[in-house]
Structure 1
Amino acid sequence: MSICPVTGQTSAGHPETTSSSLDAPLSYPLERPGPLEPPAEWETLRQECPVAPITFPSGDPAVLLTRYDDVRQVLSDPRFSRVGEGSAKITNSETGGVFNRSTASPLPQTGEGHQQWRRMLSKWFTAKRMAALKPAIAAMADRLIDDMIKNGPNQDDSRTDPGNSVDPGDAVDLKAALGFPLPVWVICMLLGVPDSDRDRFSHWSDAFLNLDRFTDDEVATARQEFHTYLLGHVRSKRADPGDDVLGTMITDARAAGTELSDEMLVATGLGLLVAGHETTANMIGKMTAMLLSDRTRWEQLVADPSMIRTAVEEVLRMDTNLGFGMPRYLTEEVELSAAAVPANTTVICDMSAANRDQQIFTDGDTMDLTRSPNPHLTFGAGPHSCLGQMLARTELQTVLEVMVRRLPSLELAVPTDQLQPITGLIVGGLQTVPVRW
């Protein structure tokens, strides 16, 4: 039985224990052997060192959680937020990205203030609103696939990385043609901004999700550009709120006899941009690649589209590259996997690793498109769970329904191991998804 160096305790709770042990903090993020494969350390960590010492790119120490119960416990605890005075820095960047303290500061991070902010937003992400939005998403997906078919494999798009391009006579980049434009169209609609600004939104989103791709000056410039753009948009909304997310928040606050600050509305717009664009754009590409990596999965969906809902949930569970993971700052001591984790510790909740915990998911490393129930943690848990998860599910299910109907012969144009992961950003994804049909 191995000993975990962060606690000095033997592993507990998971009966299958391997003979290897960890003798030093791991550099985080962990490396992956392939674009769709999990890090080799996950299983060992879950069995032997579920509360593992890690080192961020900044050099700051933190702790990595890989067991389902631990991850769910911390994510569900309303006391803990992603940032706090004394929390570990992810990078040495002073400007930071989405986890930077100044980015989050206009929004209440815990307590009743946080819940009140969520309630103001949640009315936009109800099942009723998503059902009303679905036909428009399907129509946009159809139009984008029309363009894919019309333009064929000679499509050219600046979002395709030339370093990873395939022969344009052989493939279309599905991420550039469909995965990127669909979510950005949706988020522009929700924010009430022109779809013609989508390329600017994409650049700003990348910069806010920076790990080591952009310099401090580039991130600072993007932050200032976005702030100036959205501040002007917020001020125009005060004069004419309209029926979009920010306009509705302004109207509701006035009805309650208050006014929301410019900075709170700008920070809300930033959160919607990051959560509603980049993550979903990447997930459409990853979902397609995962389903096509074993084409019998795609054929199952073509034969029986009623499986699409459970298939989307299983793809979300099986995604090995959700990105950096969710940081939480412990303001008091917490017991996790029989280990006392002290206050003032920064932990990373690795939802991808937790989603494969064999104690929760039978054959957790096997994709089962009919798996139900499927209590994965991809969208988090508790008071900080993803507000836009209903929107993400609606987009993923809708785009998959349209693809299966319109492109039943779809296949990857390159071997799976030739797909290139995104690097340098907190979010995980693939640079391109070359396909043909």
Structure 2
Amino acid sequence: MSEVDELPRFPFPVDAALEPPAEWAELRAKCPVAHVQLASGDEAALITRHADVKTILSDPRFTRPTRGDDAARMTDTEEGGIFNSEMSAVIPQHGEAHLAWRRSIGKWFTAKRMNALRPGIAAMAEQLIDDMVAKGAPADLKASLGFPLPVWVICDMLGVPDADRDRFSHWSDAMLSMTRFSAEEMKAAELEFGMYMAAHIAAKRENPGDDLLSALIADPEPMSDVTLIATGIGLLVAGHETTANMITKMVAMLLEDRSRWESLLADPALVRTAVEESMRMDANAGLGMARYITEDVEIGGTVLPRGTTAMCSMAAANRDEDAFERASEMDLARTPNQHLAFGAGAHACLGQPLARTELQVVLEVLLRKLPSLDLAVGVDDLRRVEGLVVGGLVELPVRW
């Protein structure tokens, strides 16, 4: 048996859907830079302390592994998936080119634009909740609200038909697979998604609309078609998968101890800080962020040699007692809250203003329309999504 076979497998298995694996606290205390084995069988260095994760993510020398790097593979297949896709190779990952790409898209995620979206998001949330109530309790909040709302929002932003959301969901899951899909399924999803987005962009050239992709096409310094396709796919995957899961997990956490829900009903002004605290407390966030170490660096008293793949676990870092007082407790009024759910540095999540807006609006509307909302099953019966890069719940049965 080789040495790598004896390493702990990451992500760590955990039974409880909303609880962190015990390994996080142990590693933060005793081994903040730990050698682990990924789903691919390759070795990586797992970083679990808040200060260390923030340091690595903020260091411009270290970026997402690209095809030319001798980095650890994330998935159990040699090719296919988000980490091995054309998309990961096309979108610039370094320096000025990366910053220019972010600037082009970032114009669409300003506070002014987000505030303008709020009424539409609220109206859509109300419609979805009304539809759910009409069908009667119990209902699956993920299928009824958590999934369709962010898909509708990002489709509207990209000018893509919301009616195609089931296809987007399949393609996204396949591209975000670690162990769930075969290499053939992952490659097929990437190809189909690419062809779909290419046709959509061609149609936008002919008939531009008031959407992000039309704006990127008309930009004085336009992206190449292949970059536009990759950008569209990336935004569609990121724009619905993570937020759809976070809506579901946030409501689950708030209903797990119903005094939290009662606190929000009593003081809806807590919604903003409750959203931030839900993201900090998310114990089912998925893989984290990989960084390729391009030169020797000391982290947490350990030298990471050049060529190391560092797995930054933002979820583990978000429960670091050195960064957060009473880190294991959910404090709906916690402020400041320097959580790392969106990453840090030059690669911090571009869509975080949109995600925050959606989470806040959904919570506001749920509190107003369904104050009696409660779990329809015990917390122990909630099940995690397995085998994907992003973490989530299979479903969230609720009643009211």
Residue of structure 1 in register with 2:147 after alignment: 180
Counterpart CA distance in 2 for 1:364 and 1:180 is: 29
Residue of structure 1 in register with 2:163 after alignment: 196
* Contact 1:45 1:66 (C-alpha < 8 Å) held by counterparts: yes
Does the alignment pair 1:327 with 2:290?
yes
SS of equivalent to 2:286: coil
Counterpart CA distance in 2 for 1:190 and 1:79 is: 32
Residue of structure 1 in register with 2:197 after alignment: 230
2:184 to 217, 223, 242: 217
Does the alignment pair 1:113 with 2:97?
yes
Cα drift, residue 92 of structure 1: 3.3
Cα drift, residue 80 of structure 1: 1.5
Residue of structure 1 in register with 2:11 after alignment: 29
Counterpart CA distance in 2 for 1:81 and 1:103 is: 15
Residue of structure 1 in register with 2:222 after alignment: 259
* Contact 1:33 1:40 (C-alpha < 8 Å) held by counterparts: no
Residue of structure 1 in register with 2:237 after alignment: 274
* Contact 1:422 1:431 (C-alpha < 8 Å) held by counterparts: yes
SS of equivalent to 2:398: strand
Residue of structure 1 in register with 2:35 after alignment: 53
Counterpart CA distance in 2 for 1:214 and 1:33 is: 22
Deviations 1:352-409 (A, max 9, x none): 0000100010000000000000000000001000000000000000000000000000
Paired residues for 1:362-373 under 5 Å: 362-373=325-336
Deviations 1:246-266 (A, max 9, x none): 1111112xx2xx432111001
Deviations 1:224-269 (A, max 9, x none): 11111000111122223322111111112xx2xx432111001101
Does the alignment pair 1:391 with 2:391?
no
* Contact 1:24 1:53 (C-alpha < 8 Å) held by counterparts: no
1:128 to 112, 134, 143: 112
* Contact 1:82 1:99 (C-alpha < 8 Å) held by counterparts: no
Equivalent residue letter for 1:305: P
Counterpart CA distance in 2 for 1:419 and 1:236 is: 42
1:94 to 66, 78, 93: 78
What is the root-mean-square deviation of aligned Cα atoms in Å?
Answer: 1.3
* Contact 2:87 2:234 (C-alpha < 8 Å) held by counterparts: no
* Contact 1:97 1:103 (C-alpha < 8 Å) held by counterparts: no
Deviations 1:185-224 (A, max 9, x none): 0111111011111111111111111111111111111111
- Percent identity between matched residues is 58
Residue of structure 2 in register with 1:208 after alignment: 175
Equivalent residue letter for 2:95: G
Equivalent residue letter for 1:229: Y
Counterpart CA distance in 1 for 2:388 and 2:139 is: 24
- Number of residue pairs matched? 395
Structure 1 alignment gaps of length 5 or more: 1-5, 7-22, 154-170
SS of equivalent to 1:62: strand
* Contact 2:75 2:177 (C-alpha < 8 Å) held by counterparts: no
Counterpart CA distance in 2 for 1:27 and 1:419 is: 23
* Contact 1:79 1:111 (C-alpha < 8 Å) held by counterparts: no
* Contact 2:81 2:187 (C-alpha < 8 Å) held by counterparts: no
2:277 to 314, 339, 351: 314
Counterpart CA distance in 1 for 2:281 and 2:80 is: 29
Residue of structure 2 in register with 1:250 after alignment: 217
Cα drift, residue 56 of structure 1: 1.0
Does the alignment pair 1:139 with 2:126?
no
Cα drift, residue 91 of structure 1: 2.1
1:418 to 381, 391, 394: 381
SS of equivalent to 1:96: coil
Instruction: After the TM superposition, list the runs of 4 or more consecutive aligned residues in structure 1 that deviate by more than 4 angstroms.
Output: none
Cα drift, residue 102 of structure 1: 3.1
Deviations 1:159-205 (A, max 9, x none): xxxxxxxxxxxx10000000010010011111101111111111111
Counterpart CA distance in 1 for 2:178 and 2:349 is: 21
Cα drift, residue 125 of structure 1: 0.3
Counterpart CA distance in 1 for 2:25 and 2:114 is: 37
Structure 2 alignment gaps of length 5 or more: none
Paired residues for 1:400-411 under 5 Å: 400-411=363-374
Equivalent residue letter for 1:92: D
* Contact 2:80 2:190 (C-alpha < 8 Å) held by counterparts: no
* Contact 2:76 2:178 (C-alpha < 8 Å) held by counterparts: no
Counterpart CA distance in 2 for 1:218 and 1:309 is: 39
Residue of structure 2 in register with 1:13 after alignment: none
Equivalent residue letter for 2:260: R
Q: TM-score, normalised by structure 2?
A: 0.97
Higher mean displacement: 37-46 or 77-86: 77-86
Equivalent residue letter for 2:293: L
Equivalent residue letter for 1:50: P
Residue of structure 2 in register with 1:10 after alignment: none
Residue of structure 2 in register with 1:302 after alignment: 265
Counterpart CA distance in 2 for 1:92 and 1:145 is: 38
Counterpart CA distance in 2 for 1:211 and 1:320 is: 18
